[in-house]
């Protein structure tokens, strides 16, 4: 089949790799001049089943509402006159029950564990490395209240297949010597030994090059998706800034803009963008972090 993939971030590029490996003729359309120049460029690079607890929860409901007026919180909510924001918010808030928290966490954990297996198998098959570190991830809590809540969530993950270790201050400092000087300010933590980290942009750049060189994937960079040419229930072509491009199937992987494109054609993708912040700090002495 001739398949068009819209978007060359981590999801689109990985989809192109798997589809081409399966024998399909794949073309990736990307508006930026190279892969991983949007959402995937500054992604935190966590391969972390330990972070699988669903965001929507009774605690998130309180934080969401407080975030409407208290902008000192870690999560800030700014009201906008956007009908889809309100529709998405209502859908999110409906998931903020204990029952839905557990159901969504179960799905998210299975997906996270599967994704970890996939990226490791892909790395082994292609020889691609991306500054990956497979030492686990340490989640720590500054207050006893947040530690108690976090412990409950992680125990649930542990009961459903995630190896975890609940650790006190001394064990925290043993796992991460950089915390030794401030361990008295930390209530405790959770260690997820199978979690990993890496460089998202580096991974996507190398995977795109591999897919093009080894599998014949064609990347059309600097090309904007303008719409879809649909006949009946099938997409005949993707309308782009370089003209229409025909295909037998289309994969939409445009990050938060996937929802914008889908809604124009009656496809409901409940995706809404969230801005996050990460920082990478070089350490001359990791024992004095």
- Give tens-digit pLDDT for 152-209: 999 999 999 999 999 999 999 999 988 888 999 999 999 999 999 999 999 999 999 9
- The region of weakest confidence among 5-9, 63-67, 69-73, 105-109 is 69-73
Q: Is the pLDDT of residue 65 over 80?
A: no
Instruction: Over range 277-283, report the average pLDDT.
Output: 74
Residue 5 and residue 29: Cα distance in Å, rounded?
A: 6
- CB 131, CB 202: distance < 8 Å: yes
Residue 77 and residue 203: Cα distance in Å, rounded?
A: 31
Q: What pLDDT is recorded for position 18?
A: 98
Q: Is the pLDDT of residue 74 over 70?
A: no
- Return mean pLDDT, the chain: 91
- CB 132, CB 196: distance < 8 Å: yes
- CB 34, CB 221: distance < 8 Å: yes
- CB 154, CB 166: distance < 8 Å: yes
Q: CA torsion angle for 126, 215, 247, 22 (degrees, to 10)?
A: -60
Structural domains in the chain?
2-42+201-263 (3.50.50.60)
> Assign residue 216 a region: left if phi > 0, alpha if psi is -120 to 50, beta otherwise?
left
Q: Is the pLDDT of residue 231 over 70?
A: yes
Report which secondary-structure segment, H or E, holds 165.
Answer: strand 165-167
Q: Residue 71 — pLDDT band, cuts 50, 70, 90? A: low
Instruction: Over range 51-78, report the average pLDDT.
Output: 78
- CB 100, CB 56: distance < 8 Å: yes
Q: Is the pLDDT of residue 289 over 60?
A: no
| Alpha-carbon torsion (100, 101, 102, 105), positive or negative | positive
Q: Is the pLDDT of residue 88 over 80?
A: yes
pTM of the predicted protein model:
0.91
Q: Is the pLDDT of residue 64 over 80?
A: no
Q: Is the pLDDT of residue 288 over 70?
A: no
Q: Is the pLDDT of residue 226 over 70?
A: yes
Residue 137, classed as helix, strand or coil, is strand
């Amino acid at each position: 089949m001739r398949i068009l993939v819209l978007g060359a971030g981590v999801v689109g590029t990985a989809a192109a790799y798997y589809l081409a490996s399966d024998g399909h003729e794949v073309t990736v359309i990307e508006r930026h001049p190279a892969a991983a120049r949007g959402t995937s460029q500054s992604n935190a690079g966590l391969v972390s089943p330990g972070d699988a607890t669903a965001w929507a929860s009774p605690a998130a409901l309180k934080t969401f509402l407080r975030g409407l007026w208290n902008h000192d919180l870690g999560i800030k909510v700014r009201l906008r006159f956007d009908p889809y924001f309100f529709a998405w918010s209502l859908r999110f808030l409906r998931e903020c029950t204990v029952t839905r928290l557990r159901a969504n966490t179960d799905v998210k954990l299975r997906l996270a564990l599967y994704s970890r297996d996939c990226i490791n198998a892909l790395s082994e098959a292609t020889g691609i490395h991306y500054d990956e570190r497979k030492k686990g991830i340490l989640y720590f809590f500054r207050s006893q209240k947040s530690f108690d809540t976090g412990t409950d969530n992680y125990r649930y993950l542990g009961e459903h297949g995630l190896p975890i270790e609940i650790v006190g201050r001394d064990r925290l400092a043993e796992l991460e010597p950089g915390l030794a000087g401030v361990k008295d300010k930390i209530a405790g933590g959770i260690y997820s030994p199978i979690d990993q980290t890496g460089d998202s942009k580096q991974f996507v750049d190398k995977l795109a090059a591999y897919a093009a060189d080894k599998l014949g994937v064609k990347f059309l960079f600097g090309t904007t998706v303008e719409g879809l040419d649909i006949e009946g229930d099938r997409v005949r072509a993707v309308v782009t800034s370089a003209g229409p491009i025909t295909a037998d199937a289309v994969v939409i992987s445009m990050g938060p803009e996937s929802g914008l494109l889908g809604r124009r054609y009656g496809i409901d993708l409940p995706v809404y963008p969230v801005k996050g912040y990460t920082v990478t700090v070089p350490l001359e002495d990791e024992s004095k972090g």
